[in-house]
């Protein structure tokens, strides 16, 4: 049986010699970080729990990717550049195959974003993966949830709903072909954090967040904190390639309520439309305009003919859903 | 049933208006922190798991205290001043009594050290408490594990072994009076992070760490990373008030191997003895000189007559102990 310290050494040490921002990494009581002068730090923490955020038998490479991706997505939603992260891993057993796969998925994505693993903790216990992530951004440039303005356009990056569609397929609520299932499942297991888009939107977008629990619930956080309302053009919501083939009812339901896509929802003044489109092109990320921020509180759903749509909508909540 | 967001709002929001270091706290995708100009950040992450780090029925106020204390202790061991922390809480259920107690224990200690809760995440799942903590210190002043020098004195803060004694009592390995048990148990459940001492030792001590898994194993990390050995005067180790009353054999065993006391073990040049004693007085923390760093690798245990002691010693490891 591997000891706790062997584990850390064997699987989770990155080489970042020569990068003066990191004065000390794994192996001491704390990691030491030299923040870039004049920059603000963005910090986020997310825990992923077996059976809740992922299946107990989830493939470890994908799981490693996803755990870091959801944290990177929080940096993207603030417009922050990734810097470093810590990992607290609770594991039922020290299985070398699992650890090799998990660290490969985790560190591949970390290296892609030059995000350094600077500290960690491993414990025996039910599988729980807790990551804290650190990014940098110039003071005043953060894309906050409380900054939406009346008249702002509402935008969505990429596409929505395929992750939820994969879940429906796993749950046998819906039947997909193998190829469709595999395509949708890759959206669920391998979300793409929109880091480049988030950074490109600094100074252009007002408010932003990443959609983890579904657009309706998450956009609701922007509306609540900004004390505004919104009008959404439901049929303009960008459905994922597999969801596009489904009925209008499913498209509406899953683009509005499907979680786990980790796309950005952001608002920007209408005079910034060209700048938003340019930011999308520069970051090679599709951006779609889907609605408008209004003074009247609440969320109004409209179809392409601007007719009101009434749908029962609930946001995903870890403590109120089964 | 409370929703996830109600939970966070109700129990875990501190007021830190007016502190310009915190540009944005709980409720956005990330917290925003303005590091003090020219300071280095110390970062540590620890997860506490039910049944492993604490009993499943642990009293919530004490548990809240302990979870933050062990993280503050990591800052103390670097000589860093506490700044902020994040909390990822996985809970089987949203029990208001438990949450009220836990947050009281957690935030009381946080407020004592002016350490701000800046972000969090709650999930339904087996009880797991993951804290990442952030502190500040001047560059070059960190008390690292790899900085012990041959000839350094070895020092211990406070006293050792009472936390291990409490465990022995819980496990019925030993019998204590109710008063003794209660005194020892308070050391186990309410460790005191040695923040003031750690800061006072900047520029005086060379190497330091906090003792969580037992002195022998933890001092071993300093020896390994500093490429040195040590000679410990075992009978000079400061035993806790309850442990003092036990046999010499138990005193030796529990001061050397007992974990969970969260005292500092540090090394300092012999010409700094008066400065170390002054740092102890200034921080109102007992400091005891217990040995010396030597060039010869390995750890040598001596009794008061400088005779070698042979003991079977093992450090606590989460994956190799039952």
CATH number at residue B287: 3.90.650.10
| Strand pairing class (A128-137; A31-33) | unpaired
B 264-283 → A contacts, CB under 8 A: none
Q: Collect the ranges in chain B with pLDDT lower than 50.
A: 1, 5, 315-322
A 165-184 → B contacts, CB under 8 A: none
pLDDT, residue B279, reads: 98
Q: Answer yes or no: is B79 within a domain.
A: yes
The rounded distance, in Å, linking the Cα atoms of A32 and B139 is 9
Confidence of residue A6 (pLDDT cuts 50, 70, 90): low
A49 touches chain B (CB under 8 A): yes
Contact B252, B151 (CB under 8 A): no
Q: Answer yes or no: is B69 within a domain.
A: yes
Residues A108 and A159 in one domain: no
Q: Which residues contact B279 (CB under 8 A, 6 or more apart)?
A: B197, B200, B201, B204, B287
Task: Name the residue with higher pLDDT: A279 or B308.
Answer: A279
* Block residue for tokens 């990442």: B132
| Strand pairing class (A116-124; A81-91) | parallel
Count how many domains chain A has: 2
pLDDT, residue A122, reads: 85
Q: Answer yes or no: is A123 within a domain.
A: yes
Quick one: closest CA in B to A147, which residue? B28
- The reply to whether residue A1 touches residue B320, judged by beta carbons under 8 angstroms, is yes
Q: Residue A46 annotated as binding?
A: yes
Supply the mean pLDDT for chain A: 89
Could you tell me the two tokens for B256? 């050397």
What would the 3-class secondary structure string for chain A be?
Answer: CCCHHHHHHHHCCCCCCCCCCEEECECECCEEECCCCCCEEEEEEEEEEECCCECCCCCHHHHHHHHHHHHHHHHHHHCCEEEEEEEEEEECCCCHHHHHHHHHHHHHHHHHCCCEEEEEEEEECCCEEEEEEEEEECCCCCCECCCCCCCCEEEEECCECHHHHHHHHHCCCCCCCHHHHHHHHHHHHCCCCCHHHHHHCCCCCCEEEECCCCHHHHHHHHHHHHCCEEEEEHHHCCECCCHHHCCHHHHHHHHHHCCCCCCEEEEECHHHHHHHHHHHHHCCCCEEEEEEEECCCEEEEECCCCCECCCCCCCCCCCCCC
Distance, CA of A167 to chain centre:
17
What are the φ and ψ backbone dihedral angles of B269, each rounded to 5 degrees?
-60, 150
Tell me the chain A residues in contact with residue B118 when contact means C-beta distances shorter than 8 Å. Answer: 43
Residues B211 and B93 in one domain: no
Q: Which residues contact B246 (CB under 8 A, 6 or more apart)?
A: B165, B174, B239, B254
Question: Per-residue pLDDT tens for A248-271?
Answer: 999 999 999 988 899 999 999 999
* Block residue for tokens 């991706």: A69
DSSP character at residue B52: T
Closest partner CB to A43 (pick from B3, B47, B86): B86
Question: Per-residue pLDDT tens for A129-142?
Answer: 999 999 999 999 99
Tell me the chain B residues in contact with residue A37 when contact means C-beta distances shorter than 8 Å. Answer: 37
Question: C-alpha distances in angstroms, A74 versus A138, A194, B28?
Answer: 16, 9, 9
Confidence of residue A17 (pLDDT cuts 50, 70, 90): low
pLDDT, residue B94, reads: 81
Residues A108 and A168 in one domain: no
Quick one: closest CA in B to A123, which residue? B318
Could you tell me the two tokens for A78? 């603030």
What order do you get walking across the sheet with A22-24 strand by strand? Answer: A22-24, A31-33, B40-49, B128-137, B81-91, B116-124
Confidence of residue A310 (pLDDT cuts 50, 70, 90): confident
Question: Per-residue pLDDT tens for B140-169?
Answer: 999 999 999 999 999 999 999 999 999 899
Task: Name the residue with higher pLDDT: A10 or A189.
Answer: A189
- The reply to whether residue A43 touches residue B134, judged by beta carbons under 8 angstroms, is yes
pLDDT, residue A316, reads: 46
Tell me the chain A residues in contact with residue B225 when contact means C-beta distances shorter than 8 Å. Answer: 27-28
Q: Answer yes or no: is B231 within a domain.
A: yes
pLDDT, residue A200, reads: 98
Residues A118 and A176 in one domain: no
Residues B128 and B40 in one domain: yes
- The reply to whether residue B41 touches residue A42, judged by beta carbons under 8 angstroms, is no
Could you tell me the two tokens for B30? 């990330």
pLDDT, residue B7, reads: 63
Residue A2 confidence (pLDDT) above 90: no
pLDDT, residue A16, reads: 61
Residues B182 and B128 in one domain: no
The rounded distance, in Å, linking the Cα atoms of B162 and B184 is 5
The rounded distance, in Å, linking the Cα atoms of A186 and A200 is 26
Q: Answer yes or no: is B242 within a domain.
A: yes
Is B322 strand, coil or helix?
coil
Residues B46 and B123 in one domain: yes
Q: Answer yes or no: is B148 within a domain.
A: no
Domain that holds residue A91: 4-137
Residues B295 and B168 in one domain: yes
The rounded distance, in Å, linking the Cα atoms of B61 and B103 is 7
* Block residue for tokens 């305009």: A289
Q: Answer yes or no: is B145 within a domain.
A: no
Contact B309, B234 (CB under 8 A): yes
Contact A16, A25 (CB under 8 A): yes
Tell me the chain B residues in contact with residue A135 when contact means C-beta distances shorter than 8 Å. Answer: 30
Rounded to 5°, the CA angle A97-A98-A99 comes to: 95
> For chain B, what is the radius of gyration of the CA atoms?
20
- The reply to whether residue B47 touches residue A209, judged by beta carbons under 8 angstroms, is no
The rounded distance, in Å, linking the Cα atoms of A49 and A40 is 30
Q: Residue A116 annotated as binding?
A: no
Q: Answer yes or no: is B172 within a domain.
A: yes
A 179-218 → B contacts, CB under 8 A: 208-210
Residues B243 and B213 in one domain: yes
Contact A175, A169 (CB under 8 A): yes
The rounded distance, in Å, linking the Cα atoms of B165 and B168 is 5
Tell me the chain B residues in contact with residue A142 when contact means C-beta distances shorter than 8 Å. Answer: 23-24, 28, 30, 32
Closest partner CB to A125 (pick from B34, B37, B128): B128
> Please, is B296 exposed, middle or buried when counting C-beta atoms within 10 Å of its C-beta (0-12, 13-18, 19+)?
exposed
Confidence of residue A1 (pLDDT cuts 50, 70, 90): very low
Closest partner CB to B40 (pick from A23, A88, A90): A23
Question: Per-residue pLDDT tens for A175-221?
Answer: 999 999 999 999 988 999 999 999 999 999 999 999 988 999 999 99
- The reply to whether residue A45 touches residue B119, judged by beta carbons under 8 angstroms, is yes
Residues B159 and B278 in one domain: yes
Q: Which residues contact B17 (CB under 8 A, 6 or more apart)?
A: none
CATH number at residue A106: 3.30.1330.10
- The reply to whether residue A43 touches residue B119, judged by beta carbons under 8 angstroms, is yes
Quick one: closest CA in B to A46, which residue? B121
Is B190 strand, coil or helix?
coil
Percent residues over pLDDT 70 in chain A: 91
The rounded distance, in Å, linking the Cα atoms of B56 and B64 is 13
Residues B161 and B298 in one domain: yes
Residues B214 and B257 in one domain: yes
The rounded distance, in Å, linking the Cα atoms of B101 and A97 is 40
| Strand pairing class (B31-33; A40-49) | antiparallel
């Amino acid at each position: 049986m591997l000891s706790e310290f062997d584990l850390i050494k064997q699987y989770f040490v990155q080489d970042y010699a020569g990068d003066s921002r990191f004065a000390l990494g794994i192996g001491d009581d704390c990691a030491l970080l030299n923040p870039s002068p004049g920059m603000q730090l963005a910090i986020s923490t997310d825990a992923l729990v077996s059976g809740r955020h992922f299946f107990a038998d989830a493939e470890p490479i994908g799981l490693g990717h996803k755990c870091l991706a959801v944290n990177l997505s929080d940096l993207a939603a603030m417009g922050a550049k990734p810097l470093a992260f810590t990992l607290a891993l609770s594991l039922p057993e020290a299985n070398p195959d699992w650890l090799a796969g998990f660290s490969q998925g985790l560190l591949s994505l970390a290296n892609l974003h030059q995000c350094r693993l600077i500290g960690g903790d491993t414990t025996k216990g039910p599988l729980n993966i807790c990551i804290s992530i650190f990014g940098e951004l110039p003071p005043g440039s953060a894309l906050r949830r409380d900054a939406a303005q009346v008249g702002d356009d509402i935008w969505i990056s990429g596409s929505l709903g395929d992750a939820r569609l994969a879940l429906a397929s796993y749950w046998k609520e819906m039947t997909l072909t193998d190829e469709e299932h595999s395509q949708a499942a890759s959206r669920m297991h391998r979300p793409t954090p929109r880091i480049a888009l988030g950074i490109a939107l600094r100074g252009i977008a007002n408010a932003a967040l990443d959609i983890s629990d579904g657009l309706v619930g998450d956009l609701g956080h922007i509306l609540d904190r900004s004390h505004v309302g919104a009008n959404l053009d439901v049929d303009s919501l960008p459905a994922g390639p597999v969801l596009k083939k489904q009925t209008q009812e499913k498209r509406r339901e899953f683009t509005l309520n499907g979680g786990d896509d980790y796309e950005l929802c952001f608002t920007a003044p209408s005079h910034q439309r060209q700048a938003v489109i340019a930011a999308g092109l520069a970051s090679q990320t599709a951006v779609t305009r889907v609605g408008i921020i209004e003074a009247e509180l609440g969320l109004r759903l409209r179809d392409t003919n601007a007719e009101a749509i009434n749908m029962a909508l609930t946001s995903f909540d870890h403590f109120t859903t089964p």
